[in-house]
């Protein structure tokens, strides 16, 4: 039986020093040891539903082609030609007509990454097309979401994600489809955004509408160590969904029933995914660091396809509620960035309700080797 407990902290739990939010050197270390060496969420499998469909994932300066081949297999490759390194694909999404061709000298690759044609290279002694496939990137799918690992020797996804595999079957997440997407450009370090998501100590002050629907003190956590952190908060008895009025006419997603109808689950999935499981929809944030003090955030809302096809379907009540809440969060994260970047900032003690933040800090420091 899963045990859910309140967040707690040790007496020596302090926030991170300034350099972790303001140092370009630290940001470069994060890129190499976290975002290039770990499993980062980059989208959904339905983005490449048909053979030839592709999209580009941009991970701190690295461009990755994610594509489905003729046999239905998904692949990921560095967007780098094996000839002279030219970036081959520039459109964010699209469909390849059976191959990927470099615009510089027309080296042409199959959707499985194999080099198919290289103009006049037969005249080069010792050249063999089989020696020059596109450089592959490890790709994995979990609950309909796609994850990349840029390391040449990645830790197996099944091992890293063992605590989450099979954890959320009731929501039928692979079957859900996106109804809305909003992108935000936030002037704050990516860690501040994860930390803000992981506590509701601020909710009565920053989110009065949210606190009315779901008490800030109702949080209980089942994952409180390691790369995956979170648990649930309960809805007030007068409400049945996190929407503008606290109500919904939508049926629950998947097989959600019983006590799950009065809970919303919130999990941070290290390093760049924030997953929120509601009775009638799923919301996911993905974080894309653009600099030490800037993060692009993609927020998406997923619903049951049958619900989406019903007459009168309108996700606006959920989208507008969370868009308002998101913007409140981004504003206070930007204020935090300004503060922690100051030479006047020194680490402060975490409150008892901020246990997940201290756990995140420990995992973060472990991964970067400090």
Q: Where are the domains of the chain?
A: 19-34+169-368, 40-159
Residue that is written with structure tokens 């973060």 in the block: 364
Q: How confident is the model at residue 1 (pLDDT cuts 50, 70, 90)?
A: low
Is 62's pLDDT higher than 70?
Answer: yes
What is the Cα–Cα distance from 290 to 330, expressed in whole angstroms?
15
Q: Tell me what the pLDDT averaged over the chain comes to.
A: 97
**Diameter over CA atoms, the chain:** 77
User: How are the residues of the chain apportioned to helix, strand and coil, as percentages rounded to the nearest 5?
Assistant: 30, 30, 45
Model confidence at 171: pLDDT above 70: yes
Q: Provide the pLDDT for residue 165.
A: 97
Q: Which fold has domain 40-159?
A: Rieske Iron-sulfur Protein (2.102.10)
* Model pTM above 0.85: yes
Contact in structure between 221 and 231 (CB atoms under 8 Å): yes
Q: What per-residue confidence (pLDDT) applies to 11?
A: 74
The pLDDT, as a whole number, for residue 340 is 98
To the nearest whole percent, how much of the chain has pLDDT over 90?
Answer: 96
Q: Is residue 150 within 8 Å of residue 59, measured between CB atoms?
A: yes
Structure tokens at 329: 């969060």
Q: Would you tell me how many other CB atoms lie within 10 Å of the CB of residue 342?
A: 11
- How far apart (Å, rounded) are the C-alpha atoms in residues 125 and 100? 25
Q: C-alpha angle with apex 269: 31 to 177, nearest 5 degrees? A: 110
Sign of torsion over alpha carbons 272, 186, 43, 221: positive
- Check: CB of residue 144 under 8 Å from CB of residue 44: yes
Model confidence band, residue 6 (pLDDT cutoffs 50, 70, 90): confident
Percent of the chain having pLDDT more than 70? Answer: 100
For residue 12, what pLDDT band results from cuts at 50, 70 and 90? Answer: confident
Region 82-109: mean pLDDT is: 97
Has residue 366 got a pLDDT over 70? yes
What's residue 222's pLDDT?
95
pLDDT digits (tens, 9 = 90+) for 214-242: 999 999 999 999 999 999 999 999 999 99
At residue 321, the pLDDT reads 98
| CB atoms inside a 10 Å sphere around CB 152 | 10
Q: How far apart are CA 164 and CA 277, in angstroms?
A: 13
- Are 172 and 334 in contact by the 8 Å Cβ rule? The answer is no
Question: Given this structure, which CATH class describes domain 19-34+169-368?
Answer: alpha beta
- pLDDT tens digits, 112-161: 999 999 999 989 999 999 999 999 999 999 999 999 999 999 999 999 99
Average pLDDT over residues 155-178: 98
Categorize the per-residue pLDDT at 2 as very low, low, confident or very high, splitting at 50, 70 and 90: confident
């Amino acid at each position: 039986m899963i045990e859910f407990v309140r967040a707690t902290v040790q007496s020596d739990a302090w926030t991170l020093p300034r350099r972790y939010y303001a140092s370009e050197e630290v940001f470069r270390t994060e890129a190499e040891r976290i975002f290039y060496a770990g499993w980062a969420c980059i989208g959904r499998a339905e983005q490449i539903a048909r053979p030839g469909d592709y999209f580009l994932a941009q991970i701190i300066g690295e461009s990755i082609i994610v594509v489905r081949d003729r046999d239905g297999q998904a692949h990921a490759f560095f967007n780098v030609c094996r000839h002279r390194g030219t970036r081959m694909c520039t459109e964010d999404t699209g469909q390849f007509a059976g191959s990927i061709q470099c615009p510089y000298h027309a080296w042409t690759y199959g959707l499985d990454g194999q080099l198919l044609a290289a103009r006049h290279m037969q005249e080069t002694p010792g050249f063999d097309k089989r020696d020059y496939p596109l450089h592959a990137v490890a790709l994995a799918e979990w609950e309909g979401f796609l994850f990349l690992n840029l390391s040449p020797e990645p830790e197996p996804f099944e091992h890293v994600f063992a605590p989450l595999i099979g954890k959320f079957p009731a929501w039928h997440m692979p079957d859900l489809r996106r109804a809305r997407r909003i992108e935000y450009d936030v002037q704050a370090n990516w860690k501040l955004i994860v930390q803000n998501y992981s506590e509701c100590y601020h909710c009565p002050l920053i989110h009065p509408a949210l606190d009315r629907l779901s008490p800030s003190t109702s949080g209980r956590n089942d994952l409180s160590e390691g790369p995956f952190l979170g648990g649930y908060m309960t809805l007030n008895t007068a409400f049945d969904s996190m929407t503008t009025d606290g109500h919904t006419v939508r049926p629950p997603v998947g097989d959600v029933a019983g006590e799950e109808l009065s809970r919303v689950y919130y999990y941070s999935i290290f390093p760049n995914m924030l997953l929120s499981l509601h009775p009638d929809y799923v919301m996911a944030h993905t974080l894309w660091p653009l600099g030490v003090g800037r993060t692009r955030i993609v927020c998406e809302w997923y619903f049951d396809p049958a619900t989406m096809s019903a007459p009168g379907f309108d996700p606006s009540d959920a989208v507008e509620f969370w868009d308002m809440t998101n913007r409140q969060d981004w504003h206070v994260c930007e204020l935090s960035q300004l503060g922690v970047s100051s030479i006047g900032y020194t680490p402060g003690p975490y409150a008892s309700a901020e246990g997940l933040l201290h756990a995140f800090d420990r995992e973060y420091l472990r991964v970067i080797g400090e």
